[in-house]
Amino acid sequence: MRPLYFLSFFLFLFASACSLRAQTAATAGARPIVDAIEIKSGKVNNVSESAIRAHIEVKVGTEYDQLMVDRSIRSLYGTGLFDFVQAEAVEQPDGKTVKVVFNVQTKYRVQSVALAGYHKFTRKKLMKKMDVPLMAGAVLDEHNIRKGCDNIREFYRKKGYSDAKVDYRVERNEVTGLGRIYIDIDEGVRRRIKAVVFSGNTEFKTKKLRGEIKTSRYKWWWSWASGSGRIDEEKLADDLDKLREFYQNEGYLDILIGEDDVRTVEKADGWVEIDINVHEGRKYFVGDISVEGEEVMNEVTITQMLKLLPGDPFSPKKLDEDRQTIEDMYGTIGRLDASVRAVRVPNVETGNIDISYQITEGDEYKIESIKIEGNDKTKNVVILRELAMRPGQIFNTMWMKNTEARLKNTRFFDEVTVAPEPTNIPGRKNLKVSVTEAPTAQFQFGVGYSTTEEGTFFVQYTQGNFDLFNWRSFFQGAGQKFQVSLNLGSYSNEVVLSFEEPYFRQQRIGLGFELYRRQTEYESDYYETTRIGATVYLRKRLFELFEGRISYTIEDVNVNMLTSTDSDILSAEAGKRLVSKLGFIIQRDTRDDLLFTTNGSRISLSSEVAGLGGDTRYFKLEGRTAFFLPTFETLSQCISVLARAGTVWPFERNTKINGVDYSVPIFDRFFLGGSQSLRGFEYHDVGPKDPDTKDPIGGNSYAFASLEYTIKIAEQFRIAMFYDWGFVNQGSANFNPVLFNDDWGIGLRMLVMNNPLSLDYALPINSDDLNDKGGQFNFSFGTRF
């Protein structure tokens, strides 16, 4: 009986639960019906009722839903037009319906904005600097007003008015719903820094400390252009941090420079002097250096790589660099998990700081497999051939960094990450290469102007990640280079088609060709030159950063006389020639940036032999070099030195006029003058001239040098000062500089449509009787080398 009793009891409980659940469901489903929706506005009503109802999801005749009401409130707040929104459901007398009442308080709108107290700048300029929507009719938002006042205050601060004050007040009209904004400006005195002086500095001279900070004295035109020489609290705070870091890295770990140690001394006429008091403290030196936990490497090998040595001033920066160096050393032998702690141990007896490097070497790892992800269009083989490691090799963190840099340098990817990935195999990890594809095609067209070409029209299509045989991916993904361009100018026309396979047969050998037609007539008023040809070349990395290129060029050159001339020299050049030549170039390029170079160098030596068939026979040799040296980190200042020299020897001396040999055709001689060489002279106007027409006829030897100093004024904008020197001589291997020409000038460097643009104005210093035509303005695209 007892089991039957318990069974009956559980059945009763189950039935009761089901009944309760059904009743609850029935109750939940009996929601009231919305009978009406009412909008109640406060005294200020700047939003129409229809606009409010457009944001209300609840509808008359539907069941009341609190979630829909909540969404309606959020939607109204989201418009930014309301200060207050509330909704309530009012039960109707029938007990089955409700009226939903929305109580809203709209924001005021701007009637006008009045500025007072300003004298140094116009109202229009200050309103623009506010950079917030405060025009008449806009929503009156005090957050925007405060932000606008802060922007005006910041503008004054940058202009040297460090004490400028900007306050506001608002007058609201409840009847109209409009508000008048009054902004009061107290400009204060414009302060310019007369001097930055230091006190308490016994170890370092004031000049040295000034070089460590950005706060500097006012330097008139330079400060006007760069914004320096004015009090900037944020910059000054950063400068104090830099001074502390500088002292600490020189061994002065107890250095104290507080805010109370900086005084601003008022001088006459708005000038101020900033006095920074330095509490240097004692100087600490490195004591004994020990290494613990090393087994794979010995202590001697490790300590030989350290920069911080016993007896050196203690430097936290160098200590951290040495710690990273040790970890990198272990990373080169597959110890990816190696960690190094650099422990400072004060030595009470000597007063120095001993250093103990505590090493946890970790396990050695080899590469199990290579995983590539993110390459939606680029083929795996294009990425694999850039890798410095292969499966089965020991991991090398330096090679990983090198691989990452090489993949970034292809410019196929916006982001590249090369990292180890864990596996289930002991002592093995995968090498994971993650990339984000970058756009590699460029289509450009437009009109331009240069002092040589005058007006030009150009169209160009470039694909840096081309695939000649893959039409399904729109000819992308194999890492090949393709370009086709058309240039139409006032004095020249050019059509070029070029292609290169940088890894011919998956070897580090580039194979390419170029087809071209070039027509120019800016060399002379008497003739034009048309060159139609093709070049095929192979290039390969020879050793270190040196690259070699061998090429073969065949071209048909036509010198067409535009008008009759009495010149025997120019007349001898008329007609067609077939040029067949073999070329070789070896070059080395370490520039940090191909557009705005500030560090590195480029060196090249080229030679050409013409005479493998054709009508022209000569040997040409030319060397070029460019060095870029950073001078000061401030404004990224840089000095560059360019040098070129070349000569050409004819194999046959069969064209002599008045005892002078002109066997080398005019289109293969050397010229100077113009935007790419001596900028104080007209195009090709430096060198030998035709005795009859006075036109440039070029020479068989030349030398050129240029010194340029550039300063960064803004991102992708620099100013330049330069000096150019050079000469062109008639004879082969004649480098007598007695007939040199030179010039000096100033210029601008900027980036336009991702192309470097140069604007230069140069004045000749030494010239001949024919080429001194005064100052020359040069306008050109591209970089000089």
Which residue from 492, 464, 493 is spatially nearest to 479, judged by alpha carbons? 464
Could you tell me the pLDDT band of residue 450, with boundaries at 50, 70 and 90?
Answer: low
Q: What is the mean pLDDT of residues 525-554?
A: 90
Q: What is the mean pLDDT of residues 721-746?
A: 95
Tell me the percentage of the chain whose pLDDT exceeds 70.
Answer: 92
pLDDT of residue 247: 94
Tell me the percentage of the chain whose pLDDT exceeds 90.
Answer: 49
Q: What is the mean pLDDT of residues 122-136?
A: 89
Q: What is the mean pLDDT of residues 4-10?
A: 42
pLDDT of residue 646: 97
Q: What is the sign, positive or negative, of the torsion defined by CA atoms of 412, 416, 419, 421? A: negative
Instruction: Let me know: does 215 contact 233? Beta carbons within 8 Å.
Output: no
What's the DSSP call for residue 664? Answer: S
Residue 322 confidence (pLDDT) above 70: yes
Could you tell me the pLDDT band of residue 20, with boundaries at 50, 70 and 90?
Answer: very low
pLDDT of residue 773: 85
| Tokens encoding 176 | 């109209």
* CA-CA-CA-CA dihedral for 593, 599, 600, 605, to nearest 10: 80
Could you tell me the pLDDT band of residue 753, with boundaries at 50, 70 and 90?
Answer: low
Mutual angle of helices 316-331 and 397-409, in 10-degree steps: 90
What's the DSSP call for residue 437? Answer: E
> Can you tell me whether residue 379 is helix, strand or coil?
coil
Amino acid at 89: A
pLDDT of residue 25: 37
Which residue from 752, 756, 745 is spatially nearest to 781, judged by alpha carbons? 756
Could you tell me the pLDDT band of residue 613, with boundaries at 50, 70 and 90?
Answer: confident
pLDDT of residue 454: 65
Could you tell me the pLDDT band of residue 413, with boundaries at 50, 70 and 90?
Answer: very high
Which residue from 228, 245, 233, 225 is spatially nearest to 192, judged by alpha carbons? 228
Q: What is the mean pLDDT of residues 647-651?
A: 94
- Is pLDDT larger for residue 562 or for residue 26? 562
Residue 16 confidence (pLDDT) above 50: no
Beta bridge partners of 610: 581, 618
According to DSSP H, which parts of 366-525 are helical?
A: 380-384, 397-409
Residue 690 confidence (pLDDT) above 60: yes
Number of neighbours of residue 76 by Cβ within 10 angstroms: 23
> CA-CA distance, 281 to 306, in Å (whole number)?
27
Q: What phi and psi, each to the nearest 5 degrees, are found at residue 240? A: -65, -40
Number of neighbours of residue 115 by Cβ within 10 angstroms: 19
pLDDT of residue 1: 41
Residue 446 sits at the vertex; the CA angle it makes with 440 and 447, to the nearest 5 degrees, is 145
Any residues with CB less than 8 A from the CB of 109 and at least 6 apart, and which? 46, 137, 138, 139, 140, 177, 178, 179
Quick: pLDDT tens for 73-83: 999 988 888 88
Half-sphere exposure for 726 (CA within 13 Å, toward CB):
33
Instruction: Let me know: does 351 contact 376? Beta carbons within 8 Å.
Output: no
| Mean of the per-residue pLDDT values of the chain | 87
pLDDT of residue 660: 73
Could you tell me the pLDDT band of residue 14, with boundaries at 50, 70 and 90?
Answer: very low
Question: Which of 212-221, 294-303, 718-727 is predicted least confidently?
Answer: 212-221
Look at the block and give the residue holding tokens 């250095």: 255
Could you tell me the pLDDT band of residue 708, with boundaries at 50, 70 and 90?
Answer: very high
Q: What is the mean pLDDT of residues 600-605?
A: 92
Of these ranges, 160-164, 188-192, 335-339, 386-390, the one predicted with the greatest mean pLDDT is: 335-339
- Is pLDDT larger for residue 653 or for residue 732? 732
Look at the block and give the residue holding tokens 């040409």: 620
Residue 293 confidence (pLDDT) above 70: yes
pLDDT of residue 451: 60
The backbone region for 286, taken as left when phi is positive above 0, alpha when psi lies in -120 to 50, beta otherwise, is beta
How do 262-266 and 271-277 pair as beta strands?
Answer: antiparallel
pLDDT of residue 742: 95
pLDDT of residue 785: 57
| Tokens encoding 733 | 């291997």
Residue 24 confidence (pLDDT) above 70: no
| Tokens encoding 750 | 């900027």
Q: Residues for the chain: how many in total?
A: 785
Q: What is the mean pLDDT of residues 87-99?
A: 89
Quick: pLDDT tens for 159-190: 888 889 999 999 988 888 889 999 999 988 88
Quick: pLDDT tens for 231-276: 778 888 899 999 999 999 999 999 999 888 889 888 887 788 999 9
Instruction: Let me know: does 482 contact 511? Beta carbons within 8 Å.
Output: no
> CA-CA distance, 538 to 720, in Å (whole number)?
37
Residue 282 confidence (pLDDT) above 50: yes
| Tokens encoding 757 | 């643009």
Could you tell me the pLDDT band of residue 648, with boundaries at 50, 70 and 90?
Answer: very high
Q: Distances from the Cα of 14 to the Cαs of 4, 7, 20, 21, 677, in angstroms?
A: 15, 11, 10, 11, 100
Amino acid at 244: R
Amino acid at 329: M
